[in-house]
Chain A
Amino acid sequence: MPTVPMDVVKVARCRALAAEIADDVQRYIDAHTTVGVERTILRAYGAEGADDQGVPLVNTAVERYREAGLLGRGIAFFLGRQLLAGARTAVDAAERLAFAPSIDRGEGAPGPDEARDALDRHTETALARIDQARDEREALRRRIPPGPIPLKYVIVATGNIYDDAVQAKAAAGAGADIVAVIRATAQSLLDYVPHGATTEGYGGTFATQENFRIIRRALDEVSEGQGRYVLQTNYSSGLCMAEIAWMAAVERLDMLLNDAMYGILFRDINMCRTFVDQYVSRRFIARAGIVINTGEDNYLTTADAVEKAHTVLASQFINEAFALRAGLGTEQMGLGHAYEIDPWLEDSFLLEIAQAQLVRQIFDRHPIKWMPPTKHKTGDIFFAHVHDAMFDLVGITTQQSIELLGMFSEAVHNPLLMDRYLALKATRYVFGACRHLGDEIEFKKDGIVARRAIRVLDEALALLEEVKRESIWMAIGRGAFADVKRTRTGGKGYGGVVERSVDYVNPLRARLEGR
């Protein structure tokens, strides 16, 4: 592969700074929990279902204890007490939390240790369920390996999960390696996960546990038929990122969009909430062997892709640091970036290739996620098809791991079946025709590409120094990432953040942390 200059001392310095930035936040994370985290714990212990108004059982239970000001002790504490008080199963115990005539104020015996002990067996069952899904995936992938990298990733988004299953199979049949069912637009802001199979959704289809199962079944079928494992992905982001991570873990998804800061910047979700949620979601993801895809590509849709390229790299270091603290292996970190430079800018292709190669080299064991042009797409689908082909060329030359295919109809509508087919066909051509191009070329020592790579790393380092000095909380406050400014107590979901009491009980989280 052709290389760009990369100063290893600077890279090490970037990592050290990112570690300090993440440690600062980790102290906050370790002292707090959220309604989303506690709901996830109840789900993991088996609580499921919703009432006739569609309110999930886990929401009713957790909300009741939050309102009473008791959530800081951990929902598991109260769950354990219900078991000791005669609940037959963990589900029965969760139902009692939600619907028993009176609330348990947690007074007197049994105490935290006894509650923890009562949950022991259930904690093991919860872990075994995640491990079993992971084992199944790994066995299947050994028998039917996925395609070569860059893995070709496409989205389907009909709003109806049954139509999505048809489209997902069609896409896999046309060569897609990864299929995402894009979520309904407003789901990231819902503070609950809808229940059951869904057939109505604006801009996409709701992420629900049943919908995950339907797509998994469809992709398993097509994997067997094609003799090529097709990966499933969805979105662990928004106010329910931890719950969705758990659902994906047990329903055997392969990848999840999951970012430490995306919700803060692009969905105006409170930063305290997001930092705690991302950590717990990643603990489940780590255990499940799922690959995350981070969302740095989005930065360049609001900020300029030439001037702000270094913010992407800086954020990748930070996302990596957060992921390490949640126990993810590097092979699980699909750090994201994108081909978003104005195509009419002279030598824009060279700048793109410099960034892609730099990221590939710095994160050499990470399954890097490479995102297509979107910002500069217009309704001229013919030009857009050419634009996407250039993006493909960078993807194969610099060996990006996961490539979300560009759609020529990007600026027009959600992709149609033929749009995906033509994108896959064009990509198959570029990837095939240039399979070993990277092995054949090298970049001039002091050329445009090399100089650009040096500059981006230097700027990323400078930004990380700054962020470290002022803390990530303040940096986000002044718009250091994506030109978006957010405050510590602003945004959605702050009310769902709860300080942990000294006797906080959460044995499942402790086990996921290896304790």
Chain B
Amino acid sequence: MHPTPPKEPLRAYGDRDGDGMVQLSFVLTLPPSPRAREAAKRFAEMHGLADPIVATMETCAEGFSFFVVYGRSRHAVDVAAIDVAELRTQTLSREDIEHRIQARLGRKIVVVGACTGSDAHTVGIDAILNYKGYAGDKGLESYKGFDAHNLGAQVENEQLAARARALGADAILVSQVITQRNCHKENGRALVDLLEREGWRREVVLLLGGPRVDHQLALDLGFDAGFGPGTAPSEVASYLAERLCGDRAGASLSTET
């Protein structure tokens, strides 16, 4: 339990404030039996669930049981004590973005993107860069103010850096979907190291995206910004427009506490 109880404890919401209701589903390596049911119950209790109800217990493979358990979580979170780095970019309208780039930069922003290393999943990078975009939000290719180059999947860091340099990239966008054994972190860090060795890290804005990426992780790895799941292309476009043609370049990178 908490050493000092939080002032405004935040609990899971079932159908009443503070009831702490959660659902948990998992597999135990036991065939179904009264003993297995009790094991599931205790397992849930150890996760902080009070009065767990084992809603289902069924064989999902020989010697394995699948459980769904409901219970009231005893845990609460002190929201006031949370310190998270968040990107403070406002999403600008398409007109604003185009206007800002045109008026303040007077040329296109060159963006080069790729899925690096062994990663073959281009869904993220395609959604951000390709014309089509995602869920009605068109990609960077669709803006007059961006010159977007999508290098696709399984691009080595060296290759990406060379292309980015040749194209005179203002920004490099790296997408990492595969996260097995933290290879996304290693890949990302290796690119930052490479650019630093080559001496042009400061000349380019480095963006990291992917389902297991957040802004803090990106900062930790030496990137300028991180974009997690659900990011719309217009958010990336807004960020780049602000960052590269803002009143105070880099202002939006401050960490909000």
Contacts and interface: CB of A to CB of B under 8 A. Distances in A.
Nearest to A411: B211
Interface string A478-493: 0000011000000000
Contacts of B162: none
B180 A302 contact: no
A417 B27 contact: yes
Given A170-B64, A174-B60, A189 B154 contact: yes
A186 B66 contact: no
A421 B154 contact: no
B15 interface: no
B106 interface: no
B53 interface: no
Interface in B166-216: 178, 180-181, 183, 211
Interface in B104-140: 117-120, 122-123, 126, 130, 132, 135
A185 B61 contact: no
B30 to A, nearest CB: 13
A409 to B, nearest CB: 11
Contacts of A429: none
A157 to B, nearest CB: 10
A185 B120 contact: yes
Given A266-B153, A483-B130, A202 B118 contact: yes
Given A173-B62, A421-B61, A268 B154 contact: yes
B184 to A, nearest CB: 10
B48 interface: no
Q: Is the interface of B mostly helix, strand, loop or mixed?
A: loop
B229 interface: yes
Contact of B64 (A301, A304, A378, A417): A417
A430 B110 CA distance: 49
A303 B122 CA distance: 12
Nearest to A171: B61
Interface string A174-212: 100000000011101100000000000011000000000
Nearest to A202: B180
B29 to A, nearest CB: 10
A487 to B, nearest CB: 13
A203 B180 contact: yes
A379 interface: yes
B18 interface: no
Contacts of B126: 302
Q: Which of B26, B61, B178 has the most CB of A within 10 A?
A: B61
Contact of B153 (A202, A267, A375, A378): A267
Contacts of B178: 185, 202-203
B122 A302 contact: yes
A326 B230 CA distance: 44
Contacts of A342: 135
B60 A267 contact: no
B246 interface: no
B8 to A, nearest CB: 27
Interface in A88-119: none
Nearest to A484: B152
B25 interface: yes
Nearest to A167: B61
A417 B180 contact: no
B153 A421 contact: no
Interface in A126-183: 159, 169-171, 173-174
A462 interface: no
A16 interface: no
A418 B66 contact: yes
A379 B152 contact: no
A416 interface: yes
A185 B118 contact: yes
Contacts of B123: 301, 375
Nearest to B27: A418
Interface string A313-352: 0000000000000000000000000000010000000000
Contacts of A412: 211
A441 B60 CA distance: 34
Q: Which of B120, B126, B130, B180 has the most CB of A within 10 A?
A: B180
B132 A304 contact: yes
B61 A170 contact: yes
A421 B66 contact: yes
Contacts of B64: 170, 417
Given A185-B120, A267-B154, A421 B181 contact: no
Interface string B222-257: 000000011000000000000000000000000000
A417 B118 contact: no
Contacts of A484: 152
A422 B66 CA distance: 9
Contact of B229 (A159, A266, A379): A379
Nearest to B229: A379
B25 A185 contact: no
Contacts of A266: 120, 153
A421 B118 contact: no
Interface string B56-98: 0000111010100000000000000000000000000000000
Contacts of A184: 118
A508 to B, nearest CB: 32
Give me the 7 closest cross-chain CB pairs, A-B, nearest first: A170-B61, A186-B118, A421-B60, A185-B118, A202-B180, A418-B27, A203-B178
Interface of A: 159, 169-171, 173-174, 184-186, 188-189, 202-203, 266-268, 301-304, 342, 375, 378-379, 411-412, 416-418, 421-422, 483-484
9 contacts: A169-B61, A185-B118, A202-B118, A267-B153, A267-B154, A379-B211, A417-B60, A417-B64, A422-B66
Given A170-B64, A303-B132, 14 more contacts: A169-B61, A171-B61, A185-B119, A186-B117, A186-B154, A188-B120, A267-B153, A302-B122, A378-B229, A411-B211, A416-B27, A417-B64, A418-B66, A483-B130
